[in-house]
Structure 1
Amino acid sequence: MDALKLMALDAEDLAIVSAHVQDAVLKVSGLVFEPRRQQLSVIVNRFVWEKAEGRRRSYERRRAALVFKRVRAVRSAGIDREKPEDVLSLLAATFTPHGEGPEGTVNLAFSGGATMALDVECIEVQLADTGGAWETSSLPRHQA
């Protein structure tokens, strides 16, 4: 099996993880913050960009877990926790440092203008495919 497993420990690593989860879709219920564990887990169906080169008739998606560790606080806008079945499309994950130390904010941008800000002690992110792939005929497209 060619399951993807990545870890990010700095902003450059996070950019690589972000590229692999661009256009991942998830339900609001797939966002789980555990304050005691200082962890935000996100269950996504990620588009497999690494196999999407060239024109094809079919592409694939995979179920994956995206886990942010050392999370002190989470803020969101445009995400209604009262609607757990709403679907979000993750566009990017970026990092904004707070001064010279490793702490900062991981910013998650979703389609439709929804956002999440994760205040973190440092960047510690894991991405792992958790299941097999399935075929999709849809290639995500973005307006210019």
Structure 2
Amino acid sequence: MRLSLSTYLSKLSKTGWQAPMDLLRLVALDPEDLAVVSAHLQDALLRVDDMIYLPKERRFALQVRRFDWEAQSDTPQRRLTCMHFEHVTGVRVRGIDQSKKDAVLNLLAISFEERDAPSGTATLIFADGGAIQVDLECIEMQMKDLGPVWAAESRPSHEEMPAERL
């Protein structure tokens, strides 16, 4: 008797075994793509020292510890992920002390405000009010997981915003 792969994995999962998730790799070329990447990077942690702007290469890159929202495990997990923007014309930092290299930042979202299409500004929004604005000629951003998952201390949670503030 031959089993399909999905049937086989389903039978294995009943024993407690879980198939390892493939490494996630995403490319954003427009605001809608960037919104998808932002959702996968919500609650990613990084140190101030994990970011670099390379003006000659017109690139802004960072390494994060991404919370694995799509994991099928009951145990919260994180994984090492790198991301970078191409066609960068400038970077501005607000509300982040760049002298504190080991300070941990919590990435909440990435937004995009278009100016004279296709150029615009991608804003990385962090907890505690910090932000990084990345001026772009056009959106070209890549995100790639680099390795296995590890157990996270906890699952991120956010206070619900009262309806009158929405």
Question: Same fold, TM exceeding 0.5?
Answer: yes
Tell me the residue number matched to 1:69. Answer: 86
One of 62, 69, 92 as aligned partner of 2:109 = 92
Give the Cα–Cα distance (whole angstroms) in 2 for the partners of residues 102 and 123 of structure 1: 7
Rg (Cα) greater in structure: 2
Q: Any idea what SS the aligned residue of 1:50 has?
A: coil
Tell me the residue number matched to 2:58. Answer: 38
What is the TM-score when the length of structure 1 is the normalising length?
Answer: 0.93
What is the TM-score when the length of structure 2 is the normalising length?
Answer: 0.81
Q: CA deviation at 1:86?
A: 0.2
Structure 1 residue 106 corresponds to structure 2 residue 122: yes
CA gap of 1:52–1:108, structure 2 versus 1, over 3 A, is: farther
**Greater relative CO, 1 or 2 (CA 8 Å, sep 6+):** 1
Q: How big is each residue's C-alpha offset from its partner over 1:1-55, in whole Å with a ceiling of 9 and x where there is no partner?
A: 61000000000000000000000000000011000011111100000011268xx
Give the Cα–Cα distance (whole angstroms) in 2 for the partners of residues 91 and 52 of structure 1: 22
Q: How big is each residue's C-alpha offset from its partner over 1:83-136, in whole Å with a ceiling of 9 and x where there is no partner?
A: 10000000000110003x200000110000000111100000000001111012
Instruction: Name whichever structure is richer in strand by fraction.
Output: 1
The answer on whether the counterparts of 1:52 and 1:59 sit within 8 Å (CA) in structure 2 is: no
Q: Any idea what SS the aligned residue of 1:117 has?
A: strand
When the two chains are superposed, the root-mean-square deviation of aligned CA atoms in Å is 1.3
Aligned length: 140
Tell me the residue number matched to 2:140. Answer: 124
* Residue correspondence of structure 1 range 2-17 to structure 2 within 5 A: 2-17=22-37
Give the Cα–Cα distance (whole angstroms) in 2 for the partners of residues 126 and 109 of structure 1: 18
Unaligned runs of 5+ in 2: 1-20, 161-166
